Structure 1
Amino acid sequence: MEEITETWEYDGSFYGFLCLVDQAFSRKAFPVLILTPETASESLFMGEWTTTNEARAQKIYRRLQQRLTAENLQFIQTGFYATLANKERSLLDAIEIALGTKDSLENYIGHPAVLAVRKAIKTLLGEVHLFTGFVRFEYVGNILFSKIAPKHYSLPFLCPHFAERYPNEQMMIYDETHRLLAMIDHGAVTLIEDSDCPNIKETVEEQEIQSQWRAFLSAVTINERTNSKVQMGHLPLRFRGNMVEFD
């Protein structure tokens, strides 16, 4: 595919990206830069706006399902939610490679675009893994509630872990970084974008549970053996703001 010195812009959604994919392959050209409303404010360039069309996006997604292996399609989808500068441009290169092979994109890490996406995915999933141990829930009525502040768009990948682990519970997890609310109802996950944090109020029972938890941690702590440097290696400071034991 030819690379052209153009800048394109879209709304930042996955459907919007699929419309960009359709536009790029229809024109047989990839732009040098792709902007979203967030990155456009930091750029000196004006982009050609690509309108998101849900029907068009679904059509392209079905075509990708037909022509890409399930593994490579998952690589593209996960890569879209990873944090990477001008990731859309790298993903277009990855899609072009995937369309021409049945091999895993993992075998093409010699290509700069594929390698960049792979590293971004590894960082994203690494954060997800950490949050499986660092999320702290509290009871708000009959609902388990937690608030997190991830660097990456981790919440959609984190929810299946808790949905499977607690299939009989109702839970809410709020991502204050991306203003994303996840509602998990007996294993079924619903995501609400651009959401404010729910106004919650702890019950007396929950306050007592938290008090007992802090008392337990205080009792098992040996102050003379405290090693802050080692502790930060196992539990970085950025995770502690929403953990009850550090409240």
Structure 2
Amino acid sequence: MPDTSNVIYLYDGSYDGFLCCVFDSVYRRELPQDILPEAEAQPSLFSVRYVETDPEHAQRVRASIPQKIGTEAERLVKDVFCSCTPGRERMILRFLLLGYRIGHRVVYLAGHEEVQPMLAAQQFLHNEAHRFVEFLRFSDHGGVLTAEISPKSFVLPYIQEHFCSRYAIETFLIYDRIHHAALIWKDRHASIVPLDHFQPPPLSEDERKYRALWQRFYDVVAIPDRENPRCRMNHCPKRYWPDMLEMPGHVKENFAGSPRKIRQ
């Protein structure tokens, strides 16, 4: 493991930019104090070095991971980067430096101090992606389905296959408010694009009726004597509720179109 240096790497926030930080660390034989996206940098007493994104350097690191550590390690690195876990960049760098030294068996060292946090971050990402598969709600705007989510991780690449296969003949957009990106599916082609802001069009009368039907169904199938708020929050944490029409705190609509508050 290289010696820790008194320098902080800054990069543009992209995966290729991060791989260039790995390249610099390996070839300078130094372990930076931290690696941060430039937009998140704060004043520090450590010296700062901005690492330019060089496609050639990024490709060399990208190719080296499956070659020297294995394809499983490559998936783990990508997953942890998308998990947006605080300090993920330095965590991944330390894992890669260990992997370059001992090879393919690094991914099986589940209890190692450099591997265990990686596996935990990967599990968090997959769990969050699974929950959005269950909890995401679409609205119909003139034949285009739209949904908004606020995930901690960058889950769009991980929910893409599910929604694109399930709604293959539809056109839809899933907007990630936190990471300012959107998954767009149109004419059987998917793309994930940067999107700073998304304002859905006003609800149509048909959409209001479908929402009312869905909310009425949720109320009717509920069994009041078996209400268990703590159990519900365990299975569906409250941070998902703002985008779920049927959950407490949401304004519900009756069939005449006037709003009513959900039953608490």
Q: Fold match, TM over 0.5?
A: yes
What residue in structure 1 maps to residue 146 of structure 2?
145
DSSP 3-state at the match of 1:244? coil
Between the aligned partners of 1:175 and 1:53, the Cα distance in structure 2 is 28
Scaled by the length of structure 1, what TM-score is found? 0.90
Between the aligned partners of 1:46 and 1:181, the Cα distance in structure 2 is 36
What residue in structure 2 maps to residue 154 of structure 1?
155
Structure 1 residue 42 displacement after superposition: 6.6
Query: What is the CA RMSD across the aligned residues, in angstroms?
Result: 2.1
DSSP 3-state at the match of 1:112? coil
What residue in structure 2 maps to residue 236 of structure 1?
237
What residue in structure 2 maps to residue 123 of structure 1?
124
Between the aligned partners of 2:44 and 2:120, the Cα distance in structure 1 is 24
Taking every aligned residue pair, what percent have the same amino acid on both sides?
27
What residue in structure 2 maps to residue 167 of structure 1?
168
What residue in structure 1 maps to residue 74 of structure 2?
73
What residue in structure 2 maps to residue 206 of structure 1?
207
Between the aligned partners of 1:16 and 1:121, the Cα distance in structure 2 is 20
Between the aligned partners of 2:135 and 2:44, the Cα distance in structure 1 is 36
Q: 1:31 to 1:98 in 2, by over 3 A?
A: same
What residue in structure 2 maps to residue 220 of structure 1?
221
Between the aligned partners of 2:68 and 2:202, the Cα distance in structure 1 is 50
Long gaps (5+) in structure 2:
251-264
Q: Give a deviation string over 1:72-96, Cα, whole Å, max 9, x none.
A: 1111111111233322222122222
Q: Give a deviation string over 1:99-118, Cα, whole Å, max 9, x none.
A: 34553543122321211111
Scaled by the length of structure 2, what TM-score is found? 0.85
Long gaps (5+) in structure 1:
none
Alignment length (residue pairs): 247
Q: Give a deviation string over 1:120-147, Cα, whole Å, max 9, x none.
A: 1111111111111000111111111111
Between the aligned partners of 2:90 and 2:174, the Cα distance in structure 1 is 31
Q: 1:156 to 1:46 in 2, by over 3 A?
A: farther
Between the aligned partners of 1:158 and 1:3, the Cα distance in structure 2 is 39
Between the aligned partners of 1:220 and 1:8, the Cα distance in structure 2 is 54
Q: 1:198 to 1:68 in 2, by over 3 A?
A: farther
Counting helix residues as a fraction of each chain, which structure ranks higher? Answer: 1
